[in-house]
Amino acid sequence: MRRQVAGNLAWMLAERGLQVAGGIGIVAMLARGMGPEGFAHFQYAQAVVYIAASVALICGGEVIIPRLVANTDPLAQHRLLVHAFGLRLGAGVLAYLLIGVFLLVTGQGFDIAAPTLILGIPILLREPFGIVTAWMQSRTWTRPNAVFNLTSLAVKAACVGLLFWVGSQSVPAYATAFAIEAVIAAILLTRYYLVSAPSTRVTADRPLASDLLRSGALFWVSFMLMMGSRRVDQLLLKPLVPLTEFGAYAASMQILDNFIVLATILSAGIAPMYVYAQPTLAQARRGIMKIAAVMLGMGIAGGLTIAACAHWIVQLLYGPAFVDAAQLLQLAALASMLVFVDVALTLLPIYMRRPQLVAVKWGLVFAVTIAIDLVAIPAFGARGAILGFAVANLLAVLFGITIWLRPEPAARISAPVHTSANP
């Protein structure tokens, strides 16, 4: 079993490594191809889409994967996945409509509205069809998903490379390459699942849909608060600083995004076996602390490496037009270390089925981030946004440690994840 988990994690890490390498290359072409102003517009559009995409995270893996692990009957799993797909698709449509409302209310021009609407297309695809990814993770078998992701990434990189080669500076054109990636990934995931999916027709089950909605509601709120706290800084920063400074900040955070997502990949690969499948809370707590220690080490090593190489990284990727991003990247890299620990500690309330704790944490983080940014950004510009990022990460970790240290009465863990009721 450990060999299976190790193999699965190796595939996930290999995929992430290639995703990071490809993502860095793509970002470099975007920055050099569009220039500081165009890149700033692109990053602002991505920030809007990133926040809106959180609406589509209803009925996430935290709800689906434990149920799939608990009940391996193919018909029951298929029934569960179909209902989760419907919920996610409906939420995705709502999220896309909210993007349109935001663009209208804020009166954004074509240079922002066009790429935002194009970049928003993946919202309709990633989470609904990503239900297949959750199904693979529950089986500790993510190799096909890695292949699909890398295939779609290769197509996106080819499209971006072609635009860069012909000298295009069109922000909507580059945004289209990102939409194409999501379309290809959705097609490949659907085809793979339908090969082994039961042919039995699934009828609408309102009690099941309602149960999934209720079970995932607090996680849903948590994800919206989490993703809002990670991008609200850019929405607040853009109107208050020169466009070049905003572009430099966005460039530095774009690099860190490729680093930070490694924490989520590690958590998703390890959690089903070493946390969700544990029979007792004590065993789960021990496993989580070991995971947190390992991930802290990775966060420190990676953060220090990025900070030390910041000037070289910026010069290599973005060129002299983004020289101001180097110092911002150094500061942000040091502030990002604790994200790895936070991701690990969040596994505990998930195991305990206490999503309200996750919601409270991200509610606090979101409020503190906005409060600090509103004061620090006008005074310090982009460095003020990094201060908000650092304090938010520290607050999230302190909250997670508090939950881990607090004794939990056994009666409150009446149904561990691995023995949850059938879906």
Measuring CA to CA, how many Å separate 17 from each of 23, 30, 95, 275? 10, 20, 30, 24
- Model confidence at 4, in pLDDT bands (50, 70, 90)? low
pLDDT the model gives residue 254: 87
- Model confidence at 137, in pLDDT bands (50, 70, 90)? confident
Q: Which of 299, 224, 232, 200 is nearest to 259 (CA)?
A: 299
pTM: 0.82
Q: 83 or 421: which carries more pLDDT confidence?
A: 83
Summarised one tens digit per residue, pLDDT across range 155-184 is: 999 999 999 999 999 999 999 999 999 999
Give the distance, in angstroms, between the CA of residue 6 and the centroid of all CA atoms in the same chain: 23
387 and 237 Cβ atoms separated by less than 8 Å:
no
- Mean pLDDT of the 61-83 span: 86
- Model confidence at 418, in pLDDT bands (50, 70, 90)? very low
pLDDT the model gives residue 230: 87
Largest CA distance in the chain: 65
Tally Cβ neighbours within 10 Å of residue 419: 10
In this predicted structure, the answer to whether residue 410 has a pLDDT above a threshold of 50 is: no
pLDDT the model gives residue 421: 32
d(CA 74, CA 58): 23
- Mean pLDDT of the 194-205 span: 82
d(CA 310, CA 329): 6
- Model confidence at 396, in pLDDT bands (50, 70, 90)? very high
Residue 201 carries which DSSP code?
P
189 and 165 Cβ atoms separated by less than 8 Å:
no
66: helix, strand or coil:
helix
pLDDT the model gives residue 195: 86
Give the distance, in angstroms, between the CA of residue 405 and the centroid of all CA atoms in the same chain: 27
Domain boundaries, the chain: 2-407
225, amino acid identity: L
